């Protein structure tokens, strides 16, 4: 029995050493190669997708489609952004809307731009703000507000505050902060 026991012990040692060596070879040699292979496959797939995208973009019908989409986006942007040269006219436009809606005691003044431009860090856009105060009844106020929000380019109503007017009067005093986007003046 002693020979049988030595044989089993020797086989156990050989199997254990073999398993340890196989595990060591797998983690030192094979696993890193599998990782490199998988990374190369991912990079190859990404490059293939970029190549197919470039081929697709080079086709004339796709160029026309992309040019059409770009023009549509520029048109949509013009609904929200005023040109720099036209920005002064927006204050007059707001005053004209107020006159059309027959609000009284209307005043408008531009806000300081320093704080606003820090908040909006865009390369080619800036946000201009306008402070308005006026007196109106509810229907005039609602009509004025609705017209401002439908204006092109869009004028955003950032905040408004309505307070009671004189005793017995149906008029209320309103303070509004309006903002609109303007393309920054391009340096020549």
In three state form, how does the secondary structure of 65-98 look?
HHHHHHHHHHHHHHCCEECHHHHHHHHHHHHHHH
Percentages (nearest 5) of helix, strand, coil residues in the chain: 60, 20, 20
Q: How much is the pLDDT for 167?
A: 62
Q: How much is the pLDDT for 72?
A: 87
Distance CA 74, CA 162 (A): 37
Q: How much is the pLDDT for 86?
A: 79
Q: How much is the pLDDT for 188?
A: 53
**Coil/strand/helix, residue 174:** strand
- Distance between first and last Cα of the chain: 100
Look-up of token digits 């470039």: 54
**Backbone CA torsion sign across 39, 40, 43, 44:** negative
Specify the pTM: 0.56
Q: How much is the pLDDT for 114?
A: 45
Cα-based angle 80, 108, 150 (whole degrees, multiple of 5): 30
Distance CA 38, CA 34 (A): 6
Distance CA 179, CA 130 (A): 6
* Tens of each residue's pLDDT in the chain, 188 residues: 688 899 999 999 999 999 999 999 999 999 999 999 999 999 999 999 999 888 877 788 878 888 888 888 877 777 778 877 777 788 888 889 888 988 888 888 887 654 444 444 567 788 888 899 999 888 888 898 888 888 888 888 888 888 887 666 678 888 999 888 888 776 65
One DSSP character per residue, 96-123 reads HHHHHTT-EEEEEEEPPHHHHHHH---S
């Amino acid at each position: 029995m002693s020979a049988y026991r030595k044989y089993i012990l020797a086989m156990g040692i050989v199997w254990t050493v073999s398993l340890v060596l196989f595990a060591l070879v797998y983690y030192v040699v094979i696993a890193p190669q599998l990782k490199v292979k998988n990374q190369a496959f991912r990079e190859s797939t990404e490059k293939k997708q970029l190549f197919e995208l470039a081929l697709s973009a080079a086709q004339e019908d796709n160029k026309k489609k992309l040019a059409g989409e770009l023009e549509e986006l520029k048109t949509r942007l013009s609904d929200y952004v005023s040109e720099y040269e036209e920005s002064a006219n927006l204050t007059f436009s707001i005053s004209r809307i107020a006159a059309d809606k027959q609000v009284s005691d209307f005043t408008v003044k531009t806000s300081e731009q320093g704080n606003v431009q820090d908040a909006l860090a865009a390369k080619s856009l800036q946000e201009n703000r306008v402070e308005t105060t006026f007196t109106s009844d509810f229907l005039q106020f609602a009509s004025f507000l609705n017209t401002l929000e439908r204006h092109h380019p869009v004028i955003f109503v950032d905040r408004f505050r309505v307070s009671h007017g004189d005793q017995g009067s149906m008029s209320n005093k309103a303070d509004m902060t309006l903002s609109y986007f303007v393309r920054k003046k391009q340096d020549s």
